[in-house]
């Protein structure tokens, strides 16, 4: 485990030399996440290669490789006299065409790769729409939830801040805690799994409620923790295992046997927990 490097007031880079992800990837991914969540703003300077390498106790070549990857993706701009700077926003006419060309290339490459694996355009479109909607919901939840957006608030010592995806079991636990320890306050914010991880990384939450499936490995939660919070000492508590399915009136009076029945005109379907 390596010492973290503080970049801004509420963001630091942490790398783990025993993790499966290369160190330069850990650095570049954390910088991307910080820019995406506005903790590092366009025009701000990143530490010099030597500064960041010295702080993290790693080879300067590793930092250079991370910065080079970010520069190739047009996320940062490196100038000999000015250092490494976060690139201008999409609204700047000087970079808008370049960004659009880059976006088109990324989308085209992913479409080609997916189709070459035997998936149909319809499957690709459905999955893309699903994930895009999910990201929008996570982002909106984070922006709309009091205490989630903006700078780190610094909560009281007797307040437990929990941010993330909602589960009915959380309400039961919070109510039980309040009965046994009325002096403790629980601040429960529903901001989605990704919103919870970001709040945890920014130090705005004590706990994050998550249920994220990594489709490449078939594993829940751990790949996201290794990817978004490398080097952090974390405790993972398995609160609940969910069984998903259809619930209907006792005796199944309408004879529902599968998802295809939900398209029937006499069926009303509510998609909730």
For the chain, the average pLDDT equals 79
* Reported pTM: 0.45
Q: What share of the chain is helix, strand, coil (3-state, %, to 5)?
A: 45, 15, 45
DSSP annotation of 80 reads T
Nearest-10 crossing angle of helices 121-144, 93-116: 130
Assess whether pLDDT exceeds 90 at residue 170: no
Burial, 211: exposed, middle or buried (Cβ in 10 Å; 0-12, 13-18, 19+)? middle
The predicted model gives 6-22 an average pLDDT of 70
Predicted local distance difference test score (pLDDT) of residue 94:
45
Has residue 8 got a pLDDT over 60?
no
Quote the pLDDT of residue 139.
60
Give me the mean pLDDT over the 26-34 stretch.
84
Q: Among 87, 57, 60, 55, which residue's Cα sits nearest to residue 74?
A: 87
Residue that wins the pLDDT comparison between 50 and 126: 50
The SS3 of residue 258 is coil
205-232 pLDDT per residue, tens: 899 999 888 887 888 888 888 888 877 8
Most confident of 17-21, 122-126, 217-221, 265-269: 265-269
Please return the burial class of 256, using the count of CB atoms within 10 Å of its CB with bins 0-12, 13-18 and 19+.
middle
Digit-coded pLDDT (tens) for 33-85: 777 767 788 888 888 888 888 888 889 899 999 998 888 887 888 877 668 88
Q: Quote the CA–CA distance of 164 and 148 in Å, as a whole number.
A: 10
* CATH top class, domain 159-228: alpha beta
Cα distance between residue 112 and residue 242, in whole Å: 35
Are 164 and 195 in contact by the 8 Å Cβ rule? The answer is yes
Q: Residues 44, 35: contact at Cβ < 8 Å?
A: no
Per-residue buried b or exposed e for 111-124, using 16+ beta carbons within 10 Å of the residue's own CB:
eeebeeeeeeeeee
The pLDDT value given to residue 267: 92
| Fold of the CATH domain 5-86 | Arc Repressor Mutant, subunit A (1.10.10)
The reported pLDDT for the residue numbered 62 is 92
92-114 average pLDDT score: 71
């Amino acid at each position: 485990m390596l010492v973290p490097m503080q970049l801004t007031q509420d963001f630091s880079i942490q790398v783990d030399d025993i993790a499966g992800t290369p160190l330069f990837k850990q650095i570049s991914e954390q910088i991307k996440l910080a820019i995406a969540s506005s903790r590092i703003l366009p025009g701000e300077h990143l530490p010099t290669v030597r500064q960041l390498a010295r702080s993290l106790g790693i080879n300067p070549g590793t930092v250079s490789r991370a910065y080079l990857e970010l520069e190739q993706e047009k996320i940062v701009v490196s100038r000999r006299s000015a250092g490494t700077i976060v690139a201008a926003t999409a609204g700047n006419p000087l970079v808008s065409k370049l960004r659009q060309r880059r976006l088109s290339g990324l989308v085209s490459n992913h479409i080609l790769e997916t189709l070459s694996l035997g998936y149909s355009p319809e499957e690709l479109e459905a999955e893309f729409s699903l994930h895009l909607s999910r990201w929008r919901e996570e982002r909106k939840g984070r922006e709309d939830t009091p205490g989630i957006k903006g700078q780190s608030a610094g909560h009281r010592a007797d307040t437990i801040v929990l941010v993330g995806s909602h589960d009915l079991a959380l309400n039961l636990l919070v109510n039980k805690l309040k009965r046994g320890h009325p002096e403790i306050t629980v601040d429960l914010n529903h901001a989605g799994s990704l919103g919870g991880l970001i709040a945890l990384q920014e130090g705005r939450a004590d706990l994050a409620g998550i249920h994220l499936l990594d489709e490449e490995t078939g594993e829940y939660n751990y790949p996201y923790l290794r990817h978004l919070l490398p080097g952090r000492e974390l405790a993972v508590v398995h609160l609940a295992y969910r069984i998903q399915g259809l619930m209907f009136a006792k005796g199944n009076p309408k004879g529902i046997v599968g998802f295809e029945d939900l398209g029937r005109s006499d069926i009303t379907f509510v998609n909730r927990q």
